A and B are shown apart, each in its own frame.
Chain A
Amino acid sequence: MSVFKDYKKEIMDATHNDRIRVALSRAITSYRKNVDNALKRFPHTIKMAEEVREIKAKAAGDMEKLAQQACEVIEENNGKAYIAKTSQEALDIITGLVGKDKLIVKGKSMTGEEIGLREHLEEHGNEVYETDLGEFIIQKLGSRPMHILSPAIHVPREDVARLFSQIMKKDFPPESDIATLVGAARDFLREKYFQADIGMSGANVVSADTGTLFMIENEGNIRLATGAPPVHIALIGMEKLVPTLGDAFKVAEVSWRYANYTIPAYVSMVSGPSKTGDIEKVTTYGAHGPKEFHVIFMDDGRTELAKHPVLRQALYCLRCGGCLYECPVFAVTAGHFGDRYFAGVGAVWAAMVSKDMEKAASIAYTCLTCGRCKVRCPMKIDVPEMITELRKLIAESK
């Protein structure tokens, strides 16, 4: 029970942390208001979510085929594409591409988080900058993300001011307004985009027929990180693949809407390296954007997970994070209730992808099985059902 004991201590420390409670109660209130407005403004989203569930459910069974197809198309587009069976394979491919002593700017990626990508690159002697503001804060705090979309959800502004004072050699008083802090991060990171050797990202959804990566964001950091450096490397979990561009648009719209955005500031669609034919109609690669475009599709337990009749629902997850705002445990513990991913889906991921049954058991028995997450979930992922199934696997494991 020692994993459980440590985990329980972590959970209880979080429970007694007033900062987490305050930050989350603010976040929950605004999430509910925003998502309510977003769905009222675009009511077709609810019906579209049903359609997306079908798309995802079908795609989950076809991941290998879709990955193969996407790879072929990306190569046709003059990019390079790879399929990694395991997280180690993915890391090896990336290390091979990156080498060492490189400056890397990174967009936030849960798949990267899942395999410890940043730490891996740093261990190999590279300088890595997280560019998403929340992730940047987390990186500098030496902490780990506490929400899939808002990784620094548990850090109030006073703590950000203190942190920025330390790293930027400039004094930010605790009462600094948020705009000042946002501006400071912008100034600090600006030059890194243009000095960087490599930009890295994930993707929210990928269409297999065109090999197009959809990247949804508001800050503009992903645009810069994937546009300015000469090389773009994307690490993508195979569950992000859907058959067509039309499907991908639907997945993207449902994802951002349930992530409480009426309309996100940016959706980047990238299918290959930059190119021009403007001189004598000769296609030449490496115009203003990256000259090299590498995409790694990672399996790492996902195709196995797709074979499980109940737990495969975890693959439908759009990572909108809506469930987390509805979870009564998450409201007091934040991402401490989880592993690489959080709450119900996090438990399945720990068991089936990270293959850490003890961690999975700890998370699974922290779930109330109250089911409010399912009410929120656009994919109607039945977390109580998955958790009960997981507990069954745990109980029956010899």
Chain B
Amino acid sequence: MSKKTKELIPPGLAYLADNIISGHNILGVPKEQQAKWSKGLDLPRKGETIFFAGCGYQYSSELESLMSLIRKMDKSVIGSETPMRLAALPKKLGIDAAGIYRKIMAKSNDADAQTLRDAVGVLKSFGINFGYLAEEEPCCGAPLYFAGLQKEFAKNAREAYETLKSRGLKRIIGIVPSCTYALRDLFPLFIDGYDIEVKHFSEVIAENISSKKLKFPEEVKVTYHDPCQLARFLGLIEEPRQILRAIEGIELVEAEWTNGEWSTCCGGGGGFEAVFPELSQVLATNRAREMTATGARIIVTQCPGCIMQLKEGLKELKNGDVKVLDLAQVLAMATEA
């Protein structure tokens, strides 16, 4: 990136973009630390259909810690320009940000990415066969696209496509909404003859939903938060609802007005939380308020960003009674019972 570019792109986004360009994932996590979540799941490293894990769920607890740190900085006196410019951050803040960051990145948290393990388990229980590329999985690069770095995105996309094709795969099951959107709708804009079929986890499950009896461990009211990219970009509005309605014990209650294509963004859209950490928290709280007004005990959604935001919103509302779960987690609970 040129100097001028770096000046106009907010530092938060430039930081994520740099990580993707140099480290091939949004946090710049070294290769040997990737794909740890899949240990012991015994997934083949290839196949015509592969599960695409993406960054968001894998590094969700790292991202959560990082965001909480950034929010603290954003509210502090020197906050407005520094979020995510961690390496350059002076120690006068009173916190050793770079040190905390190193710790966050070095941490090995097995509770991470439960959603991914659940999704894999659920897909298998529906009899769907697939592989996982693990450390070989390329980064979709979506944050580059939304930061305006389309040349970098295009380069990354072409390399990713080559990697995917060299493994002989034909179909992808995506789970992170933005990766799925990038792989399904953005890659073809930059790659001639793109011929990989991309479906989202919820589509695949919805297609097979009648083949299995599902029962949630308790009777519960749930509401569904539509992630922007899933509902408005990918058009997957009915699928998750069809799935939730098929689970015995679950009563789906909808937010007044703000559901489906009218769903309110969690405040994390397009890397927004990295640019306006504090405002993003306000938006998360507003959305959590709309969701809890339904009287639901569980907010179900399907995006690592939304989950992080909604949890943050509930925390701000001091609401400890309502839980946020990914649809994959809900399905896993309903399959086991």
Contacts and interface: CB of A to CB of B under 8 A. Distances in A.
Q: A and B, one complex?
A: yes
B275 A15 contact: no
B228 to A, nearest CB: 4
A397 B269 contact: no
| Chain A interface size, under 10 / 10 to 19 / 20 to 34 / 35 or more | 35 or more
Majority secondary structure, B binding face: helix
Interface string B220-238: 0000000010001100000
A12 B81 CA distance: 13
Nearest to A8: B80
B150 A392 contact: yes
B4 interface: yes
A16 to B, nearest CB: 9
B321 to A, nearest CB: 24
B261 A329 contact: no
A11 B276 contact: yes
A371 B278 CA distance: 21
A392 to B, nearest CB: 5
B142 to A, nearest CB: 11
Contacts of B11: 1
B269 A358 contact: no
A391 B232 contact: no
B146 A391 contact: yes
Interface string A352-396: 000001100100111111111011000000001001101111111
A288 interface: no
B80 A5 contact: yes
A120 interface: no
A390 B8 CA distance: 12
Contacts of B272: 366, 368
Contact of A370 (B10, B257, B269, B286): B269
Contact of A357 (B8, B146, B228): B8
A100 interface: no
B267 A328 contact: yes
A312 to B, nearest CB: 19
Contacts of A396: 5, 148, 150-151
A369 B270 contact: yes
Contacts of A366: 272, 275-276
B262 A372 contact: yes
A50 to B, nearest CB: 17
Nearest to A3: B8
Contacts of A375: 232, 261-262
B288 to A, nearest CB: 12
B1 interface: yes
A365 B232 contact: no
Contacts of B322: none
A397 to B, nearest CB: 6
Contacts of A358: 8
A9, A372, A396: residue with the most chain B Cβ atoms closer than 10 Å? A372
Interface in B15-46: none
A47 interface: no
A369 B1 contact: no
Contacts of A398: 2, 4
Given A8-B80, A328-B264, A391-B148, A365 B10 contact: yes
A194 interface: no
Contacts of B183: none
B9 interface: yes
Contacts of B148: 364, 388, 390-396
**Top 5 closest A-B pairs, CB basis?**
A391-B148, A368-B269, A370-B265, A395-B148, A369-B270
17 contacts: A1-B11, A8-B276, A326-B262, A358-B8, A365-B13, A368-B228, A368-B265, A368-B267, A368-B270, A368-B283, A369-B146, A369-B228, A372-B261, A375-B261, A388-B148, A392-B149, A395-B149
Given A370-B265, A374-B232, 14 more contacts: A4-B8, A4-B81, A5-B80, A8-B276, A11-B276, A15-B278, A32-B257, A367-B270, A369-B228, A370-B228, A388-B145, A392-B148, A396-B148, A398-B2
